[in-house]
Amino acid sequence: MIKVGVLGAGTMGSGIAQVAATSGHQVVLVDVNEPQLEKAKQSLTKVLMRLVEKGKYAHNEANDILRRITFSSDMNDFSGSGIIIEAIVENLSIKNEVFRNLEQIVDEDCILATNTSSLSVASIGAVLTKPGRIVGVHFFNPAPLMPLVEIIPAVQTAESVLNAAKNLIDSWHKVTVITKDTPGFIVNRVARPFYGEALRIYEEGIADFATIDWAMTELGGFKMGPFTLMDYIGNDVNYTVTETVFAAFYYDPRYRPSLTQKRHSEAGYLGRKSGRGYYNYAEGVELPSPTKDEKLGLEIRDRILVMLMNEAIDALFLHIASKKDIDLAMTKGVNYPKGLLQWTEEVGLEWVLAKLTALQEEYGEDRYRPSPLLKRMVKNGQKVF
């Protein structure tokens, strides 16, 4: 069984280390910040002991998992690893420097993987003397609990490296999907309207945060409404991803960020972690009640839903991923009630196209343009599946 290296002992890196060690690998978790390393060690110990209390593991099993993880501040301890998974700050120049250094330490056949969620895998691997060894492996937070991992081959990635990375992550009992190296990959690209259109509906004064959340949970079947979810993720994090995707797509209006979210982020209303976001989470403060108007709720739900469906169809049109992987990504990565392509088929492609066309005519914005594939399928009487 190969030795696994994980670079970065933040929440994501320590979670990936836990997943690999639970699957029986010897793991080296490296972080140059020693206090962060100690924090990760204490946090992992606490998590595993809690799992023992819940009966998920016997005491000796949890101890074995911990023993398989070496905590180090020296990247030279990665020597002999079969794969290194980098999970550090989303900064290209820092990642480039790290990968240059890693290549001097590891063997020639070691896979160098990045957990980036918003940067180009090709640009991260461009500094390598053997760029064929680069691959994206994008886990979702928290890594031990979230089943989905997006596997992203760069244009340089060798097919053997792609296959080896996918097989390894599959062996960790994860659901893997293969996606093209494009901004946002599958999930962060296709999910943008869930937040963006909800914010737009609020900005137009159609409904408040609570009513929009109610429409999407009670009438749409989503586990969390968009504003509750943004507060959970963190408005600063969610806004940065939107801004990154918007810039990476050459300022396509479909991905335009919201001033409402920017102002909340600037004010320090980051969500649950700051005690205040779109909602106030201070002790004793009651959350606002929604306006339970079914007609209004259905209008909100349908407007957000057709935008999501159009995004999924466009991802298919541009060969970002297969039909199966697009739907798997959205159900396993962000817990959508149904795969968006399957859902589109159920409600009817004609209905989706009619809604989008009406929105585009009303607003005169390219934001609402239907995917060419959607128009083509309706014209030819085709189905998604």
Catalytic residue among 14, 118, 120, 138: 138
Taking each helix axis from N to C terminus, what angle separates 192-203 and 226-233, rounded to the nearest 10 degrees?
Answer: 120
Catalytic residue among 23, 117, 258, 265: 117
In angstroms, rounded to a whole number, what is the distance separating the alpha carbons of residues 224 and 335? 9
Does 322 qualify as catalytic in the annotation? no
Pairing of strands 69-72, 134-139: unpaired
CA-based nearest residue to 163, from 83, 79, 80: 83
Burial of 211 (0-12, 13-18, 19+ CB in 10 A): buried
Catalytic residue among 103, 150, 197, 311: 150
CA-based nearest residue to 77, from 30, 144, 127: 30
Does 138 qualify as catalytic in the annotation? yes
8: phi then psi, degrees, rounded to nearest 5: 110, 115
Catalytic residue among 72, 81, 188, 265: 188
Catalytic annotation, residues: 117, 138, 150, 188
